Every structure is written in C-alpha cells, then in structure tokens.
Amino acid sequence: MSEDIGFFEKVYQVVRLIPRGRVTSYGAIARSIGSPGAGRMVGWALNKSFSDKGFIPAHRVVNRNGRLTGKIHFGGKEIMRELLISEGIRIVDDQVVDFSSLFWDPLKNIEEFPI
DNA sequence: GTTATGACTGCGA
DNA sequence: TTCGCAGCCATAA
C-alpha cells in the first residue's frame, strides 16, 4: 500500500507533484505526509535525494517565508535561483516574489490524488 | 539502546 | 521591526 513507503519516499512523492512555476514550504510537506513538525527532515530528505534518487524539484521547496534557505545545498548559491527563474518565478533578495500567490498546498492536491 | 543533528515553525521579548 | 528560544519529528552515528 502507499503507506509502506518510508518518510523520505513520501517527501519525494509530494515534491514531485509540485507544479512547474509553483512553490511550497517544508512544513506544508511535512504536514501533508502526516508528520507535522518534521519540516527539518523534509530538507534533509531532499538533500539525500540528490544521490539516492533522480531529479527532484527541490528548488520549488522553500521555507514559510518564501526564502531560499536551501540554496546552499544546490552546489551553487545561484543554482536554486536560476532554476526558479527559468520556471517563471521571480526572486528578489533570495525570496520568492508574490510567494502567497505561487504557494502550492500539498494537502489540497493529496485530497484529490492520494499517494 | 542513547545522543546529536537539521534545507523548519511559532511565539515571545 | 529584528533577534532569540523552545518544540517538533525522523535519520545517522
């Protein structure tokens, strides 16, 4: 069943569901997979995803302020910003412009497409 | 088995 | 407004 997968797998699934040109937060993902408060683990899972899994749109995951706190893990401090810009998302001072409008809630999507 | 860590979040000063 | 502290969960050592 879908609950046989581990925490990391759930994170990957949710992150992969993030539409292009949209963003979400670590806490939102943690909550969507039934582990509120594990936001820090979400970031850790994504970090591991670079070598364990294929491409994960981790650049679409930011903190609750829309700030690119994880950009330092992309191998280059500008990589995350470039990826977001290439999707039509504007970044100013390491922050997502109009974050509230671009925010994509995993919970809302999972209601329609359960993992 | 315990301990430490972390790409977070919320509240208080 | 910015800054600091505490809570939260899963994984690694």
pLDDT, one tens digit per residue, over A15-26 is: 999 999 999 999
CATH number of A7-97: 1.10.10.10
Query: Is A37 (CB) below 7 Å from strand C?
Result: yes
Q: Which nucleotide is nearest to A37 (CA to C1')?
A: C8
Spacing of A37 CA from B11 C1' in Å: 15
Query: Is A38 (CB) below 7 Å from strand C?
Result: yes
| A38 CB neighbour count, 10 Å cutoff | 19
Question: Cα(A81)–Cα(A83) distance, rounded to whole angstroms?
Answer: 5
pTM of the model: 0.88
Task: List the domain boundaries for chain A.
Answer: 7-97
Q: Which nucleotides of B are covered by protein (CB under 7 A)?
A: 6-10
Question: For the segment A73-101, what is each residue's pLDDT rounded down to a tens digit?
Answer: 887 778 899 999 999 999 998 899 999 99
Evaluate whether A87 touches A20 at the Cβ level (below 8 Å): yes
